[in-house]
């Protein structure tokens, strides 16, 4: 079924020309990177509590996705079925294993959370969010880089994670001590996953003398996901216990807050990445890079702009006094 479905989409792609392929590439990129950026913007400048839900659902879903992906070690469709011929630019961004789909996972976690939140407030927006999930899944199939099974599995994982996390959020409202137990358990899971990724065995196969999937690269993907998950949890502990920021402010203040915070994250990811890898090695570098990134997003930057706001408020109060 997977092969027939992909061959049908391949015929459609080849007959529709580059325009449709470019559109689907845009959809798949927005799903991955647009969702991540929107998570940060909502958390910092719109709604702290809902932002926590978005970040938790998205990062925990991606973490579980990587655990499953590095356990199943399923090769990409064009490796399993040579008659498939995805666009070169799609293959370049589709490294590693196939099952389940990471892009669909992120889109399902983000837009699924938004859809659930808007279900009773605005059904049209809720339906649009569901459509965004389905369009992302279709884009991965249309480009030939994932099977139908891959994307459906990711959607299912997202639904489960959103439901479980929603239940846990409700429990934490009634018992705050449970939050710290959950954070500790999650951090332990991230550490155990890193150990698992390091010592498990991976398939090593060659086609025409070329390694099909590099196990080292796959470990690094797992390290990045585990590091991001650990950073979110550690950041939540720090922010909830010591910072307690608010996303309130004028529109201008919120825009400035985001515009000042994003460049610092980009500097960390783009400028300091190579020096960190040089000092620590690639494996440890991935863990450190993504742990610090999400720690900065959840606790570091909120602590910074909260301190600036409090200092400004004290100054204004002193002037009035």
Which one-letter DSSP state was computed for residue 176?
Answer: T
pLDDT at residue number 65: 95
132-168 per-residue burial string, b: 16 or more CB within 10 A, e: under 16: bbebbbbbbbbbbbbbbbbbebbbebbeebbeebeee
pLDDT at residue number 307: 86
Rounded Cα distance, 70 and 54, in Å: 24
Residue 237 burial (10 A CB sphere; 0-12, 13-18, 19+): middle
Sign (positive or negative) of CA dihedral 67, 71, 75, 80: negative
Each residue of 229-283: pLDDT tens digit? 999 999 999 999 998 888 888 899 899 999 999 988 888 888 888 888 888 888 8
pLDDT at residue number 200: 94
pLDDT at residue number 274: 86
Cα–Cα distances in Å, from 8 out to 4, 46, 63, 140, 144?
6, 42, 32, 14, 10
pLDDT at residue number 2: 80
Per DSSP, helices labelled H in 201-272 are: 215-238, 251-266
pLDDT at residue number 92: 79
Per-residue three-class SS string for 130-170: HHHHHHHHHHHHHCCCCCHHHHHHHHHHHHHHHHHHHHHHH
In tens digits, the chain (321 residues) has pLDDT values of 788 889 888 888 888 877 888 899 899 888 888 888 999 999 999 999 999 999 999 999 999 999 999 999 999 998 888 888 888 888 877 778 999 999 999 999 999 999 988 888 888 999 999 999 999 999 999 998 999 999 999 999 999 999 999 999 999 888 888 999 999 999 999 999 999 999 999 998 888 888 888 899 899 999 999 999 999 999 999 999 998 888 888 899 899 999 999 988 888 888 888 888 888 888 899 999 999 999 999 999 999 988 887 777 665 555 565
pLDDT at residue number 60: 94
Beta bridge partners of 207: 210
Cα–Cα distances in Å, from 206 out to 73, 209, 313?
15, 6, 63
Instruction: Report the chain's mean pLDDT, rounded to a whole number.
Output: 89
pLDDT at residue number 208: 81
Q: Are 58 and 36 in contact (CB under 8 A)?
A: yes
Rounded Cα distance, 288 and 277, in Å: 9
Beta bridge partners of 17: none
């Amino acid at each position: 079924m997977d092969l027939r479905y992909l061959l049908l989409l391949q015929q459609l792609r080849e007959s529709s020309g580059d325009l449709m392929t470019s559109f689907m590439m845009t959809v798949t990129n927005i799903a991955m990177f647009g969702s991540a950026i929107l998570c940060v913007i909502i958390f910092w400048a719109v709604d702290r509590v809902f932002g926590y839900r978005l970040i938790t659902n998205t990062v925990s879903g991606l973490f579980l996705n990587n655990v499953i992906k590095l356990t199943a070690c399923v090769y990409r469709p064009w490796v399993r079925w040579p008659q498939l011929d995805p666009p070169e630019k799609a293959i370049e961004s589709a490294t590693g294993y196939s099952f389940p789909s990471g892009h669909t996972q992120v889109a399902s976690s983000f837009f699924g959370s938004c859809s659930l939140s808007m279900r009773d407030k605005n059904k049209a927006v809720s339906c649009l969010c569901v459509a965004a999930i389905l369009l992302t899944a279709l884009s991965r199939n249309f480009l030939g880089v994932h099977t139908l099974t891959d994307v459906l599995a990711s959607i299912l994982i997202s639904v489960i994670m959103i439901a479980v996390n929603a239940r846990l959020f409700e429990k934490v409202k009634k018992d705050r001590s449970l939050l710290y137990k959950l954070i500790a358990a999650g951090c332990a899971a991230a550490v155990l996953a890193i150990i698992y990724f390091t010592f498990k065995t991976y398939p090593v196969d060659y086609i025409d003398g070329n390694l099909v999937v590099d196990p080292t690269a796959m470990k690094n993907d797992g390290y990045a996901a585990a590091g991001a998950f650990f950073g979110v949890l550690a950041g939540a502990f720090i922010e909830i216990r010591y910072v307690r920021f608010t996303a309130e402010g004028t529109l201008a203040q919120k825009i400035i807050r985001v515009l000042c915070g994003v460049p610092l994250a980009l500097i960390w990811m783009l400028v300091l990445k190579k020096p960190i890898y040089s000092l620590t090695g690639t494996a440890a570098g991935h863990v450190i890079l993504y742990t610090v990134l999400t720690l900065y997003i959840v606790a570091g930057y909120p602590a910074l702009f909260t301190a600036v706001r409090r200092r400004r408020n004290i100054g204004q109060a002193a002037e009035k006094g």
